[in-house]
Amino acid sequence: MFISAHSSIRLAAALLLTLAGCTVGPDFLRPEAPPEAHYGKNGDPATTIAADSVAQRFAPGEAVAAEWWRLFNSPKIDAIIAAATAANPTLQAAQASLRQSQYNLRAGYGVFFPAVAADLGAARQRYSPLKVGQDVPSSIFSLFTVSASVSYAVDVFGGERRAVEGLSATVDAQQDAALAAYLALSSNVVNTVIAKAAYSAELEATRQIIDVEHEQVKLARDQADAGTAPYSSVLSIESQLDASEATIPGLEQKITQADDLLATLVGRTPAEFDPPEIAFSELALPRDLPVSLPSDLVRQRPDILAAEAGLHQASAAIGVATAALLPSLTLNASYGANNTAANDLFAHDARFWSLGADITAPLFEGGTLWFRRKAAIAGFEQSAAQYRQTVLSAFAQVADTLRALGHDAETLEAQDHALDAAQEALRLVNANYAAGLANYTNVLIADGQFHQAQIADLEARAVRYQDTVALFAALGGGWWNADAKSASVP
């Protein structure tokens, strides 16, 4: 049966209209936010006890500042984070990966447009009529051709739309990865500054203790020479002095490592980076801490959003695999001219054209296409489980950090009392020892207790500061509240 070109076009158009808008595969729906109103089993704390004269208050539902590190009131920290944001290689790699995914998405949109090509050619040929059964002499001639072609793959079942949807989800995932890199960078900078400040304070305290122990050694020697104390007292205090001095290299190494880490975070080598000196006393502990509601957390934390984007990608992949099982329709047309003389290239009898439609349907692929769809479904189930695990881990992290800050305050309060008591005990024992009312064993014990209490108090303060950083990181860092004109959020 003969079907004219116009009939073919009408048939293809009718088929296209019939199937237009049919998109296979599941439509992606964002997972619902968990119904919990708080993070802990018995509710969330409202405040901590006052330790070092500071009680931290938790404010549910209040906005998290985009540049939360400014709450520590350190312009030096602000400067380091600005430098790190501008030059950190990990953040730059994440941003480049984001741009790559954006360009891939733009390239993917090309499937919705016809593909147009032009051809201009010239060839010298020798034609043999024997090829078609004609016993006549061969001929040599030139052939000039100019043509244009148009083809359009009709996305009948939405496979291409699902593919582009997956590319769009990839952009979302890379955006979230860049935000996660930015959050990790800012958190690492602040934590490293806090750690270095604590090590420096501990080093200073240890050196002060060493100065006191040098005086005690001198006093013990004077008493031993005078015969009022045994020489064993001199040996005991010298042993304690040596032990204190042995801690100095370790603390100096930790400070050096903190400086080297800061250099790495700002994208420089340790040799070219001059870290600012930040005393622990320069840092302010944030008092009012916002706490995002659980229903908001799943729409804010970069790792949860990245897991959601991965789930979206997996959902779109099911549609792509399903469409591959179904027929595909391609419309194509071409128009051109050829002639043996360039001057006659556009003569009427030199023109040619074609117009058609192709429908291709897979009949037997050995189960390849079917099992690819099954694999896509399994991939979606895997992504769904990973999303749930990410949400669970995030909620646990927030709950742990809220409780940790309460325990940090309790620990610091106890350490403050222990330090005060140890300092007063050491003062009294030294006075009694100088008056000859106490032996040097008592001095040695009191000195060791004071040293341990001082170091423990510094460590407790540092942990409280770092757990405050951990809370801001657990809440997602507040990037969604950034001012588009002034914030450094990528």
Report the pLDDT value the prediction gives residue 215, as an integer from 0 to 100.
Answer: 82
Measured between alpha carbons, how far is 209 from 440 in angstroms, rounded to an integer? 16
For strands 351-360 and 288-291, give the pairing.
unpaired
Q: Provide the whole-model pTM.
A: 0.87
Measured between alpha carbons, how far is 242 from 209 in angstroms, rounded to an integer? 12
Q: What's the burial of 321, exposed, middle or buried (CB within 10 Å: 0-12/13-18/19+)?
A: buried
Report the pLDDT value the prediction gives residue 218, as an integer from 0 to 100.
Answer: 86
Q: Which stretches of the chain score pLDDT less than 50?
A: 1-9, 12-17, 19-20, 485-487
Report the pLDDT value the prediction gives residue 49, as an integer from 0 to 100.
Answer: 95
Q: What's the burial of 480, exposed, middle or buried (CB within 10 Å: 0-12/13-18/19+)?
A: middle
Report the pLDDT value the prediction gives residue 490, as an integer from 0 to 100.
Answer: 65
Report the pLDDT value the prediction gives residue 212, as an integer from 0 to 100.
Answer: 80
Report the pLDDT value the prediction gives residue 5, as an integer from 0 to 100.
Answer: 44
Report the pLDDT value the prediction gives residue 332, as an integer from 0 to 100.
Answer: 95
Measured between alpha carbons, how far is 10 from 285 in angstroms, rounded to an integer? 74
Domain boundaries, given as residue ranges, for the chain: 20-113+155-327+367-481
Measured between alpha carbons, how far is 380 from 386 in angstroms, rounded to an integer? 10
Question: Of the CATH numbers 1.10.3720.10, 1.20.1600.10, 3.20.20.140, 2.60.120.380, which one belongs to the domain with range 20-113+155-327+367-481?
Answer: 1.20.1600.10
- Exposure pattern of 338-347 as b/e (b: 16+ CB <10 Å)? ebeeeeebee
Q: Quick one: tokens of 467? A: 């757990």
Residues 6+ apart with CB under 8 A from 41: none
The runs of H, that is alpha helices, within 270-367 are 294-297, 302-323
- Count of CA atoms in the C-beta half-sphere (13 A) of 219: 17
Return the sign of the alpha-carbon dihedral for residues 166, 171, 175, 180. Answer: positive
Identify whether the C-beta of residue 179 lies closer than 8 Å to the C-beta of residue 95. Answer: no
pLDDT digits (tens, 9 = 90+) for 6-59: 444 455 444 444 544 578 889 999 999 988 889 998 899 999 999 999 999 999
Q: Quick one: tokens of 343? A: 């001057």
Measured between alpha carbons, how far is 264 from 257 in angstroms, rounded to an integer? 10
